[in-house]
A and B are shown apart, each in its own frame.
Chain A
Protein backbone atom coordinates (compact mmCIF):
# COMPACT_ATOMS: atom_id res chain seq x y z
CA UNK A 1 0.00 0.00 0.00
CA UNK A 2 1.27 3.50 -0.80
CA UNK A 3 1.75 5.98 2.01
CA UNK A 4 1.53 9.75 1.94
CA UNK A 5 4.16 11.92 3.61
CA UNK A 6 1.78 12.38 6.58
CA UNK A 7 1.44 8.65 7.33
CA UNK A 8 3.39 8.75 10.59
CA UNK A 9 1.47 11.80 11.76
CA UNK A 10 -1.88 10.08 11.09
CA UNK A 11 -0.82 7.07 13.11
CA UNK A 12 0.55 9.16 15.97
CA UNK A 13 -2.78 11.01 16.11
CA UNK A 14 -4.70 7.73 16.37
CA UNK A 15 -6.07 7.84 12.85
CA UNK A 16 -8.00 4.73 11.86
CA UNK A 17 -6.17 3.73 8.71
CA UNK A 18 -7.84 2.05 5.74
CA UNK A 19 -6.91 1.12 2.21
CA UNK A 20 -8.31 3.78 -0.09
CA UNK A 21 -7.43 3.55 -3.77
CA UNK A 22 -4.20 1.77 -2.87
CA UNK A 23 -3.18 4.35 -0.25
CA UNK A 24 -3.14 3.86 3.50
CA UNK A 25 -5.36 6.76 4.56
CA UNK A 26 -7.13 7.87 7.77
CA UNK A 27 -10.89 7.38 7.64
CA UNK A 28 -11.25 9.14 10.99
CA UNK A 29 -9.34 10.19 14.10
CA UNK A 30 -11.72 11.29 16.85
CA UNK A 31 -14.95 10.50 15.01
CA UNK A 32 -16.63 11.40 11.75
CA UNK A 33 -19.30 13.65 13.26
CA UNK A 34 -16.87 15.59 15.49
CA UNK A 35 -14.56 16.12 12.51
CA UNK A 36 -17.47 17.15 10.29
CA UNK A 37 -18.60 19.76 12.83
CA UNK A 38 -15.04 21.05 13.34
CA UNK A 39 -14.91 21.87 9.62
CA UNK A 40 -18.36 23.52 9.58
CA UNK A 41 -17.82 25.48 12.79
CA UNK A 42 -14.12 26.29 12.76
CA UNK A 43 -11.35 24.55 10.80
CA UNK A 44 -10.29 21.02 9.85
CA UNK A 45 -7.35 19.61 7.91
CA UNK A 46 -7.49 16.70 5.47
CA UNK A 47 -4.55 14.89 3.96
CA UNK A 48 -5.59 14.41 0.35
CA UNK A 49 -2.11 13.72 -0.99
CA UNK A 50 -3.45 10.57 -2.61
CA UNK A 51 -5.07 12.74 -5.29
CA UNK A 52 -3.26 12.75 -8.62
CA UNK A 53 -1.62 15.77 -10.24
CA UNK A 54 -0.78 15.94 -13.93
CA UNK A 55 0.92 18.83 -15.70
CA UNK A 56 0.16 19.49 -19.35
CA UNK A 57 2.98 21.35 -21.10
CA UNK A 58 3.66 22.31 -24.71
CA UNK A 59 2.48 24.72 -27.40
CA UNK A 60 -0.73 22.77 -27.96
CA UNK A 61 -1.55 22.39 -24.25
CA UNK A 62 -4.58 24.70 -24.45
CA UNK A 63 -6.11 22.98 -27.49
CA UNK A 64 -5.43 19.62 -25.92
CA UNK A 65 -7.05 20.37 -22.54
CA UNK A 66 -9.97 22.04 -24.32
CA UNK A 67 -10.58 18.83 -26.32
CA UNK A 68 -9.93 16.53 -23.34
CA UNK A 69 -12.27 18.21 -20.83
CA UNK A 70 -15.93 19.23 -20.85
CA UNK A 71 -15.75 22.72 -19.34
CA UNK A 72 -14.62 25.71 -21.44
CA UNK A 73 -10.90 26.25 -20.89
CA UNK A 74 -11.02 29.47 -22.98
CA UNK A 75 -12.88 31.01 -20.00
CA UNK A 76 -10.19 29.89 -17.55
CA UNK A 77 -7.94 32.85 -16.80
CA UNK A 78 -4.41 32.67 -15.47
CA UNK A 79 -4.51 32.01 -11.72
CA UNK A 80 -8.01 30.55 -11.81
CA UNK A 81 -9.32 27.03 -11.21
CA UNK A 82 -12.09 25.27 -13.09
CA UNK A 83 -14.14 22.23 -12.08
CA UNK A 84 -14.41 19.95 -15.10
CA UNK A 85 -14.56 16.35 -16.28
CA UNK A 86 -13.18 14.04 -18.93
CA UNK A 87 -15.67 11.97 -20.89
CA UNK A 88 -15.45 8.96 -23.16
CA UNK A 89 -16.84 9.32 -26.67
CA UNK A 90 -20.20 7.95 -25.44
CA UNK A 91 -20.42 10.66 -22.74
CA UNK A 92 -19.64 8.30 -19.85
CA UNK A 93 -17.27 9.84 -17.34
CA UNK A 94 -13.55 9.00 -17.23
CA UNK A 95 -13.06 11.23 -14.18
CA UNK A 96 -13.96 14.57 -12.70
CA UNK A 97 -11.10 16.97 -12.10
CA UNK A 98 -9.85 20.45 -11.36
CA UNK A 99 -8.00 22.39 -14.06
CA UNK A 100 -5.50 25.07 -12.99
CA UNK A 101 -4.29 27.65 -15.50
CA UNK A 102 -0.65 28.12 -14.47
CA UNK A 103 0.27 30.20 -17.54
CA UNK A 104 3.06 28.08 -18.98
CA UNK A 105 1.16 24.87 -18.32
CA UNK A 106 -2.12 23.46 -17.04
CA UNK A 107 -2.32 21.45 -13.83
CA UNK A 108 -5.01 18.76 -13.74
CA UNK A 109 -5.99 17.31 -10.35
CA UNK A 110 -7.61 13.89 -10.59
CA UNK A 111 -9.00 11.19 -8.32
CA UNK A 112 -6.55 8.81 -6.67
CA UNK A 113 -8.41 5.70 -7.80
CA UNK A 114 -8.26 6.86 -11.42
CA UNK A 115 -4.66 8.02 -11.81
CA UNK A 116 -3.50 5.11 -13.96
CA UNK A 117 -6.64 5.02 -16.07
CA UNK A 118 -6.65 8.80 -16.57
CA UNK A 119 -3.00 8.95 -17.62
CA UNK A 120 -3.63 6.19 -20.13
CA UNK A 121 -6.68 8.06 -21.47
CA UNK A 122 -4.70 11.31 -21.67
CA UNK A 123 -1.93 9.57 -23.60
CA UNK A 124 -4.39 7.90 -25.98
CA UNK A 125 -5.88 11.30 -26.77
CA UNK A 126 -2.59 13.15 -27.09
CA UNK A 127 -1.94 15.27 -30.18
CA UNK A 128 0.47 17.97 -31.34
CA UNK A 129 3.09 19.52 -29.11
CA UNK A 130 1.91 18.25 -25.74
CA UNK A 131 3.81 16.80 -22.81
CA UNK A 132 1.92 14.94 -20.09
CA UNK A 133 3.77 14.81 -16.76
CA UNK A 134 2.41 12.76 -13.89
CA UNK A 135 3.77 14.61 -10.84
CA UNK A 136 1.47 12.92 -8.30
CA UNK A 137 4.28 11.41 -6.26
CA UNK A 138 6.08 14.74 -5.90
CA UNK A 139 3.19 16.56 -4.29
CA UNK A 140 1.68 16.61 -0.81
CA UNK A 141 -1.83 18.01 -0.70
CA UNK A 142 -3.58 19.32 2.41
CA UNK A 143 -7.12 20.66 2.42
CA UNK A 144 -7.60 23.26 5.17
CA UNK A 145 -11.31 23.92 5.33
CA UNK A 146 -13.80 25.92 7.35
CA UNK A 147 -14.55 29.44 8.61
CA UNK A 148 -11.25 29.74 10.49
CA UNK A 149 -9.07 28.31 7.73
CA UNK A 150 -8.20 31.80 6.48
CA UNK A 151 -7.26 33.07 9.97
CA UNK A 152 -5.14 29.97 10.49
CA UNK A 153 -3.19 30.16 7.24
CA UNK A 154 -2.86 33.94 7.27
CA UNK A 155 -0.48 33.59 10.23
CA UNK A 156 1.86 31.60 8.00
CA UNK A 157 2.12 33.86 4.96
CA UNK A 158 2.61 37.51 4.04
CA UNK A 159 0.31 37.06 1.04
CA UNK A 160 -3.09 38.63 1.77
CA UNK A 161 -5.45 35.67 1.70
CA UNK A 162 -8.57 37.82 2.07
CA UNK A 163 -8.19 39.03 -1.54
CA UNK A 164 -8.28 35.50 -2.95
CA UNK A 165 -11.46 34.66 -4.83
CA UNK A 166 -13.17 31.30 -4.63
CA UNK A 167 -11.60 29.00 -7.27
CA UNK A 168 -8.42 31.05 -7.67
CA UNK A 169 -4.85 30.19 -6.69
CA UNK A 170 -1.40 31.65 -6.20
CA UNK A 171 2.16 30.48 -5.79
CA UNK A 172 3.34 31.81 -2.44
CA UNK A 173 5.50 31.20 0.58
CA UNK A 174 3.62 29.50 3.39
CA UNK A 175 5.39 28.54 6.61
CA UNK A 176 8.72 28.96 4.85
CA UNK A 177 7.87 26.73 1.89
CA UNK A 178 7.02 27.54 -1.71
CA UNK A 179 3.54 26.16 -2.29
CA UNK A 180 0.63 26.41 -4.65
CA UNK A 181 -2.19 27.78 -2.51
CA UNK A 182 -5.67 27.30 -3.89
CA UNK A 183 -9.01 28.69 -2.68
CA UNK A 184 -10.85 25.43 -3.33
CA UNK A 185 -12.33 22.48 -1.50
CA UNK A 186 -14.71 19.54 -1.44
CA UNK A 187 -16.55 20.39 1.77
CA UNK A 188 -18.94 23.13 0.67
CA UNK A 189 -17.18 25.65 2.91
CA UNK A 190 -16.72 28.96 1.12
CA UNK A 191 -13.64 29.77 3.22
CA UNK A 192 -11.41 26.94 2.16
CA UNK A 193 -7.88 26.28 0.99
CA UNK A 194 -5.89 23.49 -0.59
CA UNK A 195 -2.10 23.51 -0.34
CA UNK A 196 0.07 21.76 -2.91
CA UNK A 197 3.57 21.36 -1.47
CA UNK A 198 6.63 19.16 -1.67
CA UNK A 199 6.04 15.50 -0.80
CA UNK A 200 9.32 15.39 1.14
CA UNK A 201 8.37 13.80 4.48
CA UNK A 202 10.29 16.22 6.68
CA UNK A 203 8.96 19.29 4.86
CA UNK A 204 5.44 17.90 4.83
CA UNK A 205 5.52 17.20 8.56
CA UNK A 206 6.88 20.71 9.22
CA UNK A 207 4.04 22.20 7.19
CA UNK A 208 1.42 20.11 9.02
CA UNK A 209 2.84 21.12 12.40
CA UNK A 210 2.99 24.80 11.45
CA UNK A 211 -0.68 24.71 10.38
CA UNK A 212 -1.74 22.98 13.60
CA UNK A 213 0.23 25.46 15.74
CA UNK A 214 -1.39 28.35 13.89
CA UNK A 215 -4.85 26.83 14.21
CA UNK A 216 -4.65 25.70 17.83
CA UNK A 217 -6.48 28.80 19.08
CA UNK A 218 -9.39 27.84 16.80
CA UNK A 219 -9.47 24.22 17.92
CA UNK A 220 -8.14 22.98 14.57
CA UNK A 221 -8.70 19.24 14.06
CA UNK A 222 -7.40 16.61 11.68
CA UNK A 223 -10.25 15.22 9.58
CA UNK A 224 -10.42 11.91 7.74
CA UNK A 225 -12.01 10.52 4.62
CA UNK A 226 -15.22 9.72 6.53
CA UNK A 227 -16.07 13.35 7.19
CA UNK A 228 -14.81 14.34 3.75
CA UNK A 229 -17.63 12.17 2.42
CA UNK A 230 -20.37 13.48 4.76
CA UNK A 231 -19.27 17.09 4.15
CA UNK A 232 -19.36 16.79 0.36
CA UNK A 233 -22.72 15.03 0.52
CA UNK A 234 -24.38 17.94 2.37
CA UNK A 235 -23.53 20.07 -0.66
CA UNK A 236 -24.46 17.31 -3.14
CA UNK A 237 -20.95 17.35 -4.58
CA UNK A 238 -20.68 14.35 -6.88
CA UNK A 239 -18.23 11.57 -6.10
CA UNK A 240 -16.63 9.67 -8.96
CA UNK A 241 -17.50 5.97 -8.76
CA UNK A 242 -20.75 6.73 -6.93
CA UNK A 243 -22.66 9.55 -8.58
CA UNK A 244 -20.94 9.35 -11.95
CA UNK A 245 -18.89 6.70 -13.72
CA UNK A 246 -18.28 5.27 -17.16
CA UNK A 247 -21.99 4.27 -17.33
CA UNK A 248 -23.54 7.42 -15.84
CA UNK A 249 -22.87 10.24 -18.29
CA UNK A 250 -21.91 13.71 -17.18
CA UNK A 251 -25.36 15.19 -17.93
CA UNK A 252 -27.14 12.40 -16.08
CA UNK A 253 -24.81 13.09 -13.16
CA UNK A 254 -26.33 16.57 -13.01
CA UNK A 255 -23.09 18.19 -14.13
CA UNK A 256 -24.42 19.97 -17.21
CA UNK A 257 -23.00 23.19 -15.74
CA UNK A 258 -19.44 21.95 -16.35
CA UNK A 259 -20.33 20.62 -19.80
CA UNK A 260 -20.13 23.39 -22.39
CA UNK A 261 -21.69 21.76 -25.44
CA UNK A 262 -21.35 24.96 -27.49
CA UNK A 263 -17.60 25.38 -27.02
CA UNK A 264 -16.71 23.18 -30.01
CA UNK A 265 -15.82 19.54 -30.42
CA UNK A 266 -14.49 17.73 -27.35
CA UNK A 267 -14.36 14.12 -26.21
CA UNK A 268 -17.95 12.99 -25.80
CA UNK A 269 -19.51 16.16 -27.25
CA UNK A 270 -21.41 14.44 -30.07
CA UNK A 271 -22.93 11.81 -27.80
CA UNK A 272 -23.78 14.36 -25.11
CA UNK A 273 -25.44 16.74 -27.59
CA UNK A 274 -27.53 13.87 -28.88
CA UNK A 275 -28.43 12.76 -25.35
CA UNK A 276 -29.50 16.29 -24.48
CA UNK A 277 -31.55 16.69 -27.68
CA UNK A 278 -33.35 13.40 -27.07
CA UNK A 279 -33.98 14.27 -23.43
CA UNK A 280 -32.25 12.62 -20.48
CA UNK A 281 -33.79 9.31 -19.47
CA UNK A 282 -32.53 9.53 -15.90
CA UNK A 283 -30.72 11.94 -13.62
CA UNK A 284 -28.88 12.07 -10.29
CA UNK A 285 -30.99 14.07 -7.84
CA UNK A 286 -31.03 14.63 -4.09
CA UNK A 287 -33.41 12.93 -1.69
CA UNK A 288 -34.07 13.12 2.01
CA UNK A 289 -35.97 10.91 4.41
CA UNK A 290 -37.29 11.17 7.94
CA UNK A 291 -36.49 7.49 8.44
CA UNK A 292 -33.57 6.60 10.68
CA UNK A 293 -32.14 3.97 8.36
CA UNK A 294 -29.48 5.24 5.97
CA UNK A 295 -30.10 4.57 2.28
CA UNK A 296 -26.61 3.75 1.07
CA UNK A 297 -25.07 3.32 -2.39
CA UNK A 298 -26.78 0.54 -4.31
CA UNK A 299 -30.14 0.66 -2.50
CA UNK A 300 -32.98 0.40 -5.03
CA UNK A 301 -35.48 3.22 -5.48
CA UNK A 302 -39.16 2.54 -6.13
CA UNK A 303 -42.37 4.30 -6.98
CA UNK A 304 -44.88 1.82 -5.62
CA UNK A 305 -43.86 -1.50 -7.16
CA UNK A 306 -41.89 0.01 -10.05
CA UNK A 307 -38.16 0.19 -9.72
CA UNK A 308 -37.22 3.70 -10.84
CA UNK A 309 -33.61 4.07 -9.78
CA UNK A 310 -30.68 3.41 -7.49
CA UNK A 311 -29.09 5.30 -4.62
CA UNK A 312 -25.63 6.55 -5.62
CA UNK A 313 -24.61 8.14 -2.28
CA UNK A 314 -26.32 8.27 1.09
CA UNK A 315 -25.55 9.12 4.68
CA UNK A 316 -26.61 11.17 7.64
CA UNK A 317 -26.31 14.94 7.39
CA UNK A 318 -24.69 15.77 10.72
CA UNK A 319 -25.80 19.42 10.41
CA UNK A 320 -29.45 18.68 9.56
CA UNK A 321 -29.51 15.52 11.66
CA UNK A 322 -31.42 13.89 8.84
CA UNK A 323 -30.64 11.15 6.36
CA UNK A 324 -29.91 12.45 2.88
CA UNK A 325 -28.49 11.15 -0.34
CA UNK A 326 -28.39 11.20 -4.09
CA UNK A 327 -29.97 8.71 -6.45
CA UNK A 328 -30.01 8.08 -10.18
CA UNK A 329 -33.74 8.21 -10.92
CA UNK A 330 -35.70 7.69 -14.13
CA UNK A 331 -37.30 10.60 -15.96
CA UNK A 332 -40.85 11.18 -14.70
CA UNK A 333 -39.89 10.49 -11.09
CA UNK A 334 -36.95 12.82 -10.52
CA UNK A 335 -38.66 16.19 -10.07
CA UNK A 336 -38.35 17.99 -6.74
CA UNK A 337 -41.14 16.97 -4.39
CA UNK A 338 -41.72 13.50 -5.87
CA UNK A 339 -42.44 10.86 -3.22
CA UNK A 340 -40.25 7.80 -3.60
CA UNK A 341 -39.58 4.61 -1.66
CA UNK A 342 -36.14 3.17 -1.02
CA UNK A 343 -35.48 -0.48 -0.27
CA UNK A 344 -33.08 -0.56 2.66
CA UNK A 345 -32.15 -4.18 3.34
CA UNK A 346 -35.66 -5.39 2.50
CA UNK A 347 -37.54 -2.58 4.22
CA UNK A 348 -39.16 0.06 2.02
CA UNK A 349 -38.85 3.50 3.52
CA UNK A 350 -40.43 6.74 2.33
CA UNK A 351 -38.28 9.49 0.94
CA UNK A 352 -38.71 12.57 -1.19
CA UNK A 353 -36.79 14.12 -4.07
CA UNK A 354 -35.46 17.45 -2.80
CA UNK A 355 -33.47 20.41 -4.07
CA UNK A 356 -29.73 20.40 -3.57
CA UNK A 357 -27.49 21.46 -1.95
CA UNK A 358 -29.01 20.11 1.23
CA UNK A 359 -27.23 22.82 3.20
CA UNK A 360 -27.16 26.43 2.16
Chain B
Protein backbone atom coordinates (compact mmCIF):
# COMPACT_ATOMS: atom_id res chain seq x y z
CA UNK B 1 0.00 0.00 0.00
CA UNK B 2 1.32 3.41 -0.99
CA UNK B 3 1.62 5.67 2.08
CA UNK B 4 4.01 8.45 1.08
CA UNK B 5 6.56 9.39 3.75
CA UNK B 6 6.34 13.13 3.03
CA UNK B 7 2.63 13.42 3.90
CA UNK B 8 0.74 13.74 7.20
CA UNK B 9 -2.37 11.69 7.98
CA UNK B 10 -5.57 11.71 10.05
CA UNK B 11 -7.53 8.92 11.71
CA UNK B 12 -10.27 9.67 9.17
CA UNK B 13 -7.93 8.38 6.44
CA UNK B 14 -7.13 11.74 4.94
CA UNK B 15 -3.69 12.91 3.90
CA UNK B 16 -2.28 16.42 4.25
CA UNK B 17 0.55 17.89 2.17
CA UNK B 18 2.01 21.17 3.40
CA UNK B 19 3.49 23.27 0.61
CA UNK B 20 6.23 25.91 0.92
CA UNK B 21 3.62 28.63 1.53
CA UNK B 22 2.16 26.68 4.42
CA UNK B 23 -1.03 25.74 2.50
CA UNK B 24 -2.43 22.32 3.39
CA UNK B 25 -3.51 20.20 0.41
CA UNK B 26 -5.94 17.48 1.45
CA UNK B 27 -7.15 14.22 -0.01
CA UNK B 28 -8.06 10.69 1.04
CA UNK B 29 -5.54 7.89 1.35
CA UNK B 30 -5.08 4.91 -0.91
CA UNK B 31 -6.45 2.76 1.90
CA UNK B 32 -9.59 4.92 2.08
CA UNK B 33 -10.24 4.85 -1.66
CA UNK B 34 -9.81 1.07 -1.62
CA UNK B 35 -12.33 0.69 1.18
CA UNK B 36 -14.84 2.95 -0.57
CA UNK B 37 -14.49 1.35 -4.00
CA UNK B 38 -15.74 3.12 -7.13
CA UNK B 39 -16.18 6.82 -6.31
CA UNK B 40 -18.87 8.51 -8.36
CA UNK B 41 -19.32 11.95 -6.80
CA UNK B 42 -17.54 14.43 -4.56
CA UNK B 43 -19.40 17.30 -2.95
CA UNK B 44 -17.52 20.02 -1.08
CA UNK B 45 -20.07 22.07 0.84
CA UNK B 46 -17.90 25.19 0.96
CA UNK B 47 -16.71 27.77 -1.50
CA UNK B 48 -13.27 29.30 -1.77
CA UNK B 49 -12.48 31.65 1.17
CA UNK B 50 -14.92 29.79 3.41
CA UNK B 51 -13.84 29.37 7.02
CA UNK B 52 -13.68 25.83 8.33
CA UNK B 53 -12.92 24.42 11.76
CA UNK B 54 -10.81 21.39 12.47
CA UNK B 55 -12.95 18.26 12.51
CA UNK B 56 -15.82 19.96 10.70
CA UNK B 57 -17.57 18.07 7.92
CA UNK B 58 -16.76 19.89 4.71
CA UNK B 59 -18.20 17.51 2.18
CA UNK B 60 -19.05 13.99 1.14
CA UNK B 61 -17.65 11.34 -1.13
CA UNK B 62 -20.29 9.16 -2.72
CA UNK B 63 -19.16 5.69 -3.74
CA UNK B 64 -21.31 2.96 -5.25
CA UNK B 65 -21.09 0.98 -2.04
CA UNK B 66 -21.41 3.71 0.54
CA UNK B 67 -21.02 7.38 1.36
CA UNK B 68 -18.18 8.90 3.39
CA UNK B 69 -17.76 12.29 5.01
CA UNK B 70 -14.78 14.54 4.41
CA UNK B 71 -13.57 16.27 7.58
CA UNK B 72 -11.26 19.25 7.67
CA UNK B 73 -8.02 18.18 9.37
CA UNK B 74 -7.21 21.80 10.25
CA UNK B 75 -8.86 25.10 11.10
CA UNK B 76 -8.46 27.63 8.33
CA UNK B 77 -9.71 29.17 5.12
CA UNK B 78 -10.50 27.24 1.95
CA UNK B 79 -7.91 28.24 -0.63
CA UNK B 80 -8.84 26.01 -3.55
CA UNK B 81 -11.22 23.18 -4.46
CA UNK B 82 -10.41 20.52 -7.03
CA UNK B 83 -13.24 20.96 -9.51
CA UNK B 84 -11.71 18.47 -11.95
CA UNK B 85 -12.76 15.58 -9.73
CA UNK B 86 -16.40 16.54 -10.34
CA UNK B 87 -15.99 15.32 -13.91
CA UNK B 88 -13.70 12.43 -13.09
CA UNK B 89 -14.29 11.31 -9.50
CA UNK B 90 -12.51 8.08 -10.43
CA UNK B 91 -9.23 10.07 -10.20
CA UNK B 92 -9.56 9.64 -6.44
CA UNK B 93 -9.45 5.88 -6.93
CA UNK B 94 -6.61 5.85 -9.42
CA UNK B 95 -4.43 8.73 -8.16
CA UNK B 96 -5.47 9.57 -4.59
CA UNK B 97 -2.30 11.53 -3.76
CA UNK B 98 -2.15 13.38 -7.08
CA UNK B 99 -5.03 14.21 -9.41
CA UNK B 100 -7.48 13.03 -6.76
CA UNK B 101 -6.74 15.81 -4.26
CA UNK B 102 -9.86 17.45 -2.80
CA UNK B 103 -9.25 20.85 -1.19
CA UNK B 104 -6.48 23.24 -0.17
CA UNK B 105 -6.82 25.04 3.14
CA UNK B 106 -4.67 27.82 4.59
CA UNK B 107 -4.39 26.92 8.27
CA UNK B 108 -5.05 29.68 10.75
CA UNK B 109 -4.02 27.51 13.70
CA UNK B 110 -0.69 26.04 12.61
CA UNK B 111 -0.57 24.00 15.82
CA UNK B 112 -3.27 21.76 14.29
CA UNK B 113 -0.59 20.39 12.01
CA UNK B 114 1.37 19.03 14.94
CA UNK B 115 -1.49 16.72 15.83
CA UNK B 116 -1.43 14.92 12.49
CA UNK B 117 0.10 11.46 12.17
CA UNK B 118 3.25 10.69 10.24
CA UNK B 119 3.36 7.87 7.71
CA UNK B 120 4.54 5.29 10.25
CA UNK B 121 1.78 6.10 12.73
CA UNK B 122 -0.80 5.89 9.93
CA UNK B 123 0.60 2.58 8.75
CA UNK B 124 0.19 1.26 12.28
CA UNK B 125 -3.41 2.55 12.36
CA UNK B 126 -4.42 0.61 9.27
CA UNK B 127 -2.30 -2.41 10.12
CA UNK B 128 -0.20 -2.05 6.97
Contacts and interface: CB of A to CB of B under 8 A. Distances in A.
B104 to A, nearest CB: 22
A33 B63 CA distance: 10
A226 interface: yes
A293 B41 contact: yes
A31 B38 contact: yes
Interface string A316-337: 1010000000000000000000
A293 B65 contact: no
Given A226-B64, A230-B64, A31 B37 contact: yes
Interface in A296-319: 296, 315-316, 318
Contact of B65 (A27, A292, A318, A345): A27
A111 interface: no
A294 B36 CA distance: 14
Contacts of A315: 64
Contacts of A28: 37, 65
Nearest to A31: B38
Tell me if B's interface is mostly helix, strand, loop or mixed.
strand
Interface majority SS (helix, strand, loop, mixed), chain A = mixed
A226 B62 CA distance: 15
A226 B64 CA distance: 8
B38 A32 contact: yes
B62 A294 contact: yes
Contact of B62 (A27, A34, A292): A292
B37 to A, nearest CB: 6
A32 B93 CA distance: 13
Contact of B41 (A27, A31, A230, A292): A292
A226 B41 contact: no
A294 B61 CA distance: 11
B79 interface: no
A27 B41 CA distance: 20
Given A292-B62, A293-B43, A33 B67 contact: no
Interface in B33-72: 37-38, 40-41, 43, 60, 62, 64-65, 67
A145 B3 CA distance: 38
Contacts of B38: 31-34
A226 B60 contact: no
A288 B64 CA distance: 16
A345 B37 contact: no
Nearest to B69: A345
A345 B40 contact: no
Contacts of B40: 292, 294, 316
Nearest to B35: A16
A246 B82 CA distance: 46
B35 to A, nearest CB: 8
A27 B34 CA distance: 12
B69 to A, nearest CB: 9
Nearest to A226: B65
Given A292-B41, A293-B41, A293-B43, A32 B62 contact: no
Nearest to B90: A33
Nearest to B65: A226
A140 to B, nearest CB: 26
Contacts of A226: 37, 64-65
A293 B62 contact: yes
Contacts of A27: 37, 65
Given A226-B65, A230-B64, A292 B43 contact: yes
Interface in A177-230: 226, 230
Interface in B93-128: 93
Contact of A296 (B41, B43, B67, B93): B67
A294 B89 CA distance: 15
A313 to B, nearest CB: 13
Nearest to B34: A16
Given A33-B38, A34-B38, 19 more contacts: A16-B37, A31-B37, A31-B93, A32-B37, A32-B64, A33-B64, A226-B37, A226-B65, A292-B41, A292-B43, A293-B41, A293-B43, A293-B60, A293-B62, A294-B40, A294-B62, A315-B64, A318-B64, A345-B67
5 contacts: A27-B37, A31-B93, A32-B64, A226-B64, A292-B43
Interface of A: 16, 27-28, 31-34, 226, 230, 292-294, 296, 315-316, 318, 345
Ranked 10 nearest A-B pairs via Cβ = A292-B41, A32-B64, A33-B38, A31-B38, A32-B38, A316-B40, A294-B62, A226-B65, A32-B37, A28-B37
